[in-house]
Amino acid sequence: MATTEPTIPTPERLAAGATVHVGSETAREWWRDAVIYQVYPRSFADGNGDGIGDIPGITARLDHLQTLGVDAVWLSPFYRSPQNDAGYDVADYRDVDPLFGTLADFDAMLAGAHARGMRVVVDLVPNHTSDQHVWFQAALASAPGSPERARYIFRDGRGPGGDEPPNNWQSIFGGPAWTRLEASSTADGDAYDEPSPQWYLHLFDSTQPDLDWNHPEVRTEFTDVLRFWLDKGVDGFRVDVAHGLVKADGLPDWHGHVSMVDGGTSDEADPGAPEDGSTGAGNQGPMFDQDGVHEIYRTWHDVLAEYDGDRCLVAEAWVEPLSRLARYVRPDEMHQAFNFSFLTTGWDAAALRRVVAASYEANDEVGAPTTWVLSNHDVVRHVTRLGLPDVGVRPNGVFATDPQPDEELGLRRGRAATLLMLGLPGSAYLYQGEELGLPEHTTMPNDVRQDPAHFRTEGAEAGRDGCRVPLPWAADAEGFGFGPSGEPWLPQPDSYARYAADVQYGVEGSTFELYRAALATRRAEGLGHGSLTWLAAFEDSADVVAFRNGDVVVLANLGTAPVALPDGATALLASGPVDGELPADTTVWLRA
């Protein structure tokens, strides 16, 4: 995917010396400037030696996160699940899967995080359930038109005998978004031998049927789920596929394209495509970004407001332009939305300046923080993306047979990108392992892959396994210290030895120590709730992103030649060696 404009800011937002964002000293809820660390439980730390990460493993490593200096932890799903999509196929929203532990283990982890001054955000998956959820099993045992089927999106097929899907939608994981039931049912649940005329919708895997959010019982169920975890003391929810809950009336055909690579893009002519330079990612088509989702989030906002502690809702919404994404974080809806426009921007100074300016323009309009992110469990790690031969391409995984990234270049750019991001006002998300400089596993054998996106595309996409490889904690230990015994559920490359946590702790210049110092300085200088002004002195430097945030100047050199630093400048922190000039692919924080 070539990098294109996510939106176009007004010209004055890009002018040299322009103040792009003004910080607030009054609106200081914790989530406005928090640095939040994503834990992918399967791959963080294994407490019982079965090769799969678990909640006791997380609890045992909380000191690592406290030392790093994050404000909160976000946990990907740990609920009861058949694990067809690594837990994003939920069978029971109110229990912990035995693979990860028990509710008592969760309570202990939550208490441990809170005792260390860290909040905990948990994942919520409201677009779909597992096909093993009691509701869907009841739907399969019921007749067409039954109340049980009304909770999901069942439709009769088109054509003679209902042999064709109800519409032409495609799954984000590849293949059709509809699966036909194998047999019809009578009113008492007895099956006929002939195929059923009914199909069910699944925007993801066939084991993840979409819920019908027009059904009041679905809405009531999820407000109850919110209260279950809020009563336990969680501090917020990251909402999976937040832009997908409501579908357009009539489920009309659509001739665009959806993909895990970019969250959904319109590659074909689409009369609804935006004309403002956006990529159209994620909001093109009748299955995404429908106005009805906002009523749901206003209701959820009211539920969270019943609890003290500034509980928060975080939108995973692949929506552009940014003005539409900002609708999710209006004052009576959600509190944060991941800035995927920033994540998908290539290593280009002008493009980064535009997306930063446009992000503040959109979010300031609704009084919301901008929430920055570079990596997560669904995308190629940013140190690997930035080391690929074409940094304007963001693949869905990397095969061993693909052009391989330049590991040294990627790490240098990745560290620079992180320091740039952490210098921006707003909130920021870190993905587990990035504080170690951990790269993608790009030489993984195909026969060990587990991502359904790899299989539903018949191997055309590598999938997301490469960014989900278990973390290395100890360079010389079996499995790099991921657990007490057993092989990790995905293989770790030998290169992970040099990224292990134990060889970075206390080592000057290590990536872990860079992250730790950046978070400490960010907090001490108040950068998260600061203001941003472009530096006029660098207006002629096309390859430099330069801005002032409070008493700190942030300079990032994305070019190929060194750039002179201001006379008398004092470096607070740098992503690489700096001596009188700023080398290529390096970011520095200076005392203004």
Query: pLDDT for 218-276, tens place per residue?
Result: 999 999 999 999 999 999 999 999 999 999 999 999 988 665 444 443 333 333 333 33
pLDDT, position 270: 37
pLDDT, position 260: 45
Q: 496 φ, ψ to 5°?
A: -65, -15
The yes-or-no verdict on residue 525 having pLDDT over 80 is: yes
Which one is predicted more confidently, 273 or 437?
437
| CA pair distance 65, 184, nearest whole angstrom | 53
Question: Which tokens go with 522?
Answer: 């960010």
pTM above 0.85, yes or no: yes
Computed over every residue of the chain, the mean pLDDT equals 92
Question: Which tokens go with 546?
Answer: 């330069």
Q: Beta strand pairing status for 427-431 and 35-39?
A: parallel
The yes-or-no verdict on residue 152 having pLDDT over 70 is: yes
Q: What is the CA radius of gyration of the chain?
A: 24
The yes-or-no verdict on residue 464 having pLDDT over 50 is: yes
Q: What is the 3-state secondary structure (H, E, C) of 187-202?
A: CCCCECCCCCCEEEEC
Mean local confidence (pLDDT), 360-371: 97
Mean local confidence (pLDDT), 536-549: 93
Listed in sequence order, the DSSP H helices in 85-146 are 103-115, 134-140
pLDDT, position 188: 52
Buried b / exposed e over 553-581, threshold 16 CB at 10 Å, is bbbbbbbeeebebeeebeebbbbbebeee
Cβ neighbours for 134, distance < 8 A, ≥ 6 positions apart: 91, 92
Flag the least confident range among 1-10, 127-136, 374-383, 389-398. 1-10
Question: Which tokens go with 553?
Answer: 């100047």
| C-beta of residue 75 within 8 angstroms of C-beta of residue 41 | yes
Quick: pLDDT tens for 159-214.
Answer: 988 999 999 999 999 999 999 998 654 445 554 455 688 999 999 999 999 999 99
Cβ neighbours for 147, distance < 8 A, ≥ 6 positions apart: none
Listed in sequence order, the DSSP H helices in 121-254 are 134-140, 216-232
pLDDT, position 117: 98
395 pLDDT tier (thresholds 50, 70, 90): confident
Q: Beta strand pairing status for 198-201 and 154-156?
A: antiparallel
| C-beta of residue 385 within 8 angstroms of C-beta of residue 553 | no
Catalytic positions, written as ranges: 240, 306
Question: Which tokens go with 17?
Answer: 């010396």
DSSP letter at 448 equals G
353 pLDDT tier (thresholds 50, 70, 90): very high
pLDDT, position 10: 87
Query: 579, 443, 564, 433: which is closest to 504 by C-alpha?
Result: 433
Quick: pLDDT tens for 114-134.
Answer: 999 999 999 999 999 999 999
Quick: pLDDT tens for 40-98.
Answer: 999 999 999 999 999 999 999 999 999 999 999 999 999 999 999 999 999 999 999 99
Quick: pLDDT tens for 478-503.
Answer: 999 999 987 999 999 999 999 999 99
| CA pair distance 550, 591, nearest whole angstrom | 10
| C-beta of residue 583 within 8 angstroms of C-beta of residue 577 | yes
Could you give the maximum distance between any two Cα atoms of the chain, in Å? 83
